[in-house]
Amino acid sequence: MDLYLPIAAMSLDVFLLLALGGGVGFLSGVFGVGGGFLLTPFLIFIGVPHAVAVASSANQLVGASVSGALAHWRRGNIDFQMAFVLLAGGLVGSAAGVWLFAVLRRIGQIDLAISLSYTLLLGTLGALMLAESTRAILRLRKPGGPRRKLHQHIWLHGLPLKMRFRRSKLYISALLPLSLGFAVGVLSAIMGVGGGFVMIPAMIYILGMPTSVVPGTSLFQIIFVAATVTVLQAVGNGTVDVVLALVLLVGGVVGAQLGTRFGQRLRGEQLRAMLAFIVLAVAAKLLFDLTVAPPDLYSLETIGP
């Protein structure tokens, strides 16, 4: 059954969109990432214009992360204090990102920027996460090793403006989560992602937060970053397709709830290894597409109404 999408100006199969939303939502619930990093490329693969895919994914993320965050909130897994500091950076970052998006679009490099940022980020993160989780799994197999510290202190934690985050049992510089939030905000705007896949590893490895509060906190602040991006994209670029976003959501929210429960049965290390594999696979696919000669070297864009 085909559905006409008013902003994308194309027809797509409803069940394809529902399945896509459901699958991505499930992953989102399991890993606490918004899933946008998978949704946007898949939308592009099925022919949605890059700009519309990015903006509508951000819209869909609002709903998906509300649903996911509520599930984590009931289990008390959100560090609100940390979330608000991240958010302060995130809001400034997303405004900067939407502006950058418009500039890149004007000079004709937005498609490249989207693909390249995905490839670089996903490739680096995937490799790091895979290496770390493999070490962790190996360490578990070998009992009697030295007990791990709660978290490692690195020089970044010693920067000025120190704050105490009770829920995360941390006493670190507020500049750290602020700049992390900013960077993720920029990514959200350019890539249509909540940035969970960057945020989560950074929260674990850079901030040193306990794994249990990471997904909930990440999802909670993604709600607000994604909402800001959606509004800014609607105003600045007119590329938010609300029909597309809502159909994806219907599949996505159900998938997210199931995913959250499934995720609780898995061990942290296994979870991180699985996420690493998915991230690496998407990066490989995107890199492959960039290096393959396009069928037509020329492309056309109509300007104006």
Partner 1 sequence: MRRGCWFLAIALAASSAVPAVAAEPLIADLTSHFIAITTGFTGTDVVLFGATDGTGDVIAIVRGPEHDAVVRRKSRVAGIWVNTQQMTFTGVPSYYAVYSSRQLDEIAPPSMQALHQIGLVNLRLGAAEKNRSPEEINDFRAALIRERQRQGVFGDGVGRIAFLGDRLFRATIPFPADLPTGEYRVEIFLVRDKAVISGQTTPLYASQAGIDADVYEFANREALLYGIIAVAGAAMAGWLASLPFRNA
Q: Is 84 exposed, middle or buried (0-12, 13-18, 19+ CB in 10 A)?
A: middle
Cβ atoms 257, 71 nearer than 8 A: yes
CB of 151 to partner 1, least distance (A): 30
Q: What is the DSSP string of 169-186?
A: TEEEETHHHHHHHHHHHH
Place of tokens 């959250």: 260
Q: Is 39 exposed, middle or buried (0-12, 13-18, 19+ CB in 10 A)?
A: buried
> Is 163 or 254 the residue whose CB approaches partner 1 more closely?
254
CB of 42 to partner 1, least distance (A): 18
> Is 96 or 246 the residue whose CB approaches partner 1 more closely?
246
> Is 222 or 276 the residue whose CB approaches partner 1 more closely?
222
> Is 177 or 194 the residue whose CB approaches partner 1 more closely?
194
CB of 219 to partner 1, least distance (A): 10
> Is 112 or 140 the residue whose CB approaches partner 1 more closely?
112
CB of 161 to partner 1, least distance (A): 31
Q: What is the CA radius of gyration of the chain?
A: 19
Q: How far apart are CA 151 and CA 162, in angstroms?
A: 17
Nearest to 105 by CA among 6, 232, 190, 42: 190
DSSP 145: -
Q: How far apart are CA 45 and CA 211, in angstroms?
A: 33
CB of 49 to partner 1, least distance (A): 13
Place of tokens 């704050």: 163
Binding residues for partner 1 (CB under 8 A): 4, 6-7, 9-11, 59-68, 70-71, 74, 108-109, 111-112, 116, 223, 227, 230-235, 238, 240, 242-243, 245-246, 249-250, 253-254, 256-257, 261, 290-294, 296-305
CB of 116 to partner 1, least distance (A): 8
Cβ-based neighbours of 303, under 8 Å, separated by 6 or more: none
> Is 70 or 206 the residue whose CB approaches partner 1 more closely?
70
